[in-house]
Amino acid sequence: MVQLDSRVAALKPSATLHINELSQQLIRDGKDIIRLGLGQSPFPVPDRVVQSLKDHAGEKDYLPVRGLLQLRTTIADYYQRRTGLGFNSDSVLIGPGSKELLFNLQLATKAELILPAPCWVSYAPQAEMLGRSVRYLPTIMEDNWRIEPEQLKQLPDSGSPRLLLLNYPSNPTGASYELEHIQALVDVARAQNIIIVSDEIYGETRFSGEHHSFAKWYPEGTIISGGLSKWCGAGGWRLGAMVFPESLRELQNAMAVIASETFTSVSAPIQHAACCAFEEHDDIQCYVQNSKSILKNIAEYMVSQLRAMGLKMVDPVGGFYLFVSFSGHRDELKKRDILTSEALCDALLSEAGVAMLPGSDFGLNADELFVRLAFVDFDGASALQNVQNQPVDSQRFVEDNCPRLVEACQRLAHWLQ
């Protein structure tokens, strides 16, 4: 009889992947489900990048464990342009998605993981699988879901390494860290010798303004995590990258050893095609700008519609998520025996046909009535064709191009009534 490791036996499937598979099964069963659960980019991979994949489909050799040299150089140049730091190919490690790299990072170092609450669903389970300690720092909607420097100052120092893992623009909130917040947090992290893992997978989806990397102000203590899944529409390609400072090269080397004994290397055709994605091409820049314009318009529409129902959320600045509070309807929901965010999402799925995720999956208490909504159920290819690099009326654009999102708002309003 096989006996499971107790840490693994206690795990549940990833919430985001589970809701996606459940939604697909309900649709196969004939249910009309609006899929706002899995945060998968609705946009197609840019034509230039797809063509590059076709051109390199015959590449069959094992590539270096750390990644194709050309790709590592291209990614180093990409982050050098965005941070001004002197990255080179030795700074970069390639993996089968940033998720795997984040797991291997925790495997390689016995560090306490510091997380904001709420945060992405897989950070803490990865630590729990490895028997690592997790410390949540509570954040609140009124402060735009940001960790405050004072919270870091008050952390007890156990003498072991500490990793502060921050994803911004954030999954699940859509909020981000602005320059003044980054600089204030960096001062404390440097003084307390805390390593920052800057998960910038949504950095290129920031609607407007500049995305600032923690690495620019804390180069010696920041690891950048990124990939192709969110800004390039290539989640299923499983291509992630981490960028390390020279001071953390020992950690990077240990992760490369882990890779050599586990996944060996990332698919060769995918790595060759990824070179094209990270290069500077006008058509790809246009694709990114148009994608951001579409997401901005959808976000404005969704926020307006949801607030009209008495729901609360911050104004997102990037990504494709809203973290929505139903607390204003607590009394009415209690009469329907809905007391937790999980019960709320179950009811919305079964009664309204709208799939979302409960706030408890993201580190909040079960009785906090938050849900994460991913506004991605629309035809991204068609939307890209219809946006023209110019301001558009958000309501008209969404009504014309995103009928499933319009219907989702209508179903929610009807359900609340």
Domain identity same for 328 and 249: no
Co-location of 315 and 411 in the same domain: yes
Specify the 3-state DSSP secondary structure of 25: helix
Average pLDDT, the chain: 94
Q: In which element (H, E) is residue 164 found? A: strand 162-167
The number of distinct structural domains making up the chain is 2
d(CA 85, CA 79): 8
Q: How confident is the model at residue 16, as a pLDDT?
A: 67
| Domain's final residue, options 244, 260, 280 | 280
Assess whether 238 and 290 both reside in one domain.
no
Domain that holds residue 331: 6-44+283-416
Asked if the structure places residue 93 within a domain, the reply is: yes
Here the tokens at position 306 are 């949801």
> In the chain, what percentage of residues exceed pLDDT 70?
98
C-beta neighbour count of 359 within 10 angstroms: 28
DSSP state of 160: S
- Is 102 within a domain? yes
Same domain, 331 and 384: yes
pLDDT digit string, tens, across residues 284-308 = 999 999 999 999 999 999 999 999 9
Whether 73 has a pLDDT exceeding 90, the answer reads yes
**pLDDT tens, residue by residue, 147-202:** 999 999 999 887 889 999 999 999 999 999 999 999 999 999 999 999 999 999 99
Q: Is the pLDDT confidence value at 390 over 70?
A: no
Separation of alpha carbons 178 and 212, rounded Å: 7
d(CA 175, CA 157): 28
Q: Give the count of beta carbons closer than 10 Å to the beta carbon of residue 224.
A: 26
What CA–CA distance (Å, rounded) separates 71 from 290? 25
Residue 94 shares a structural domain with residue 201: yes
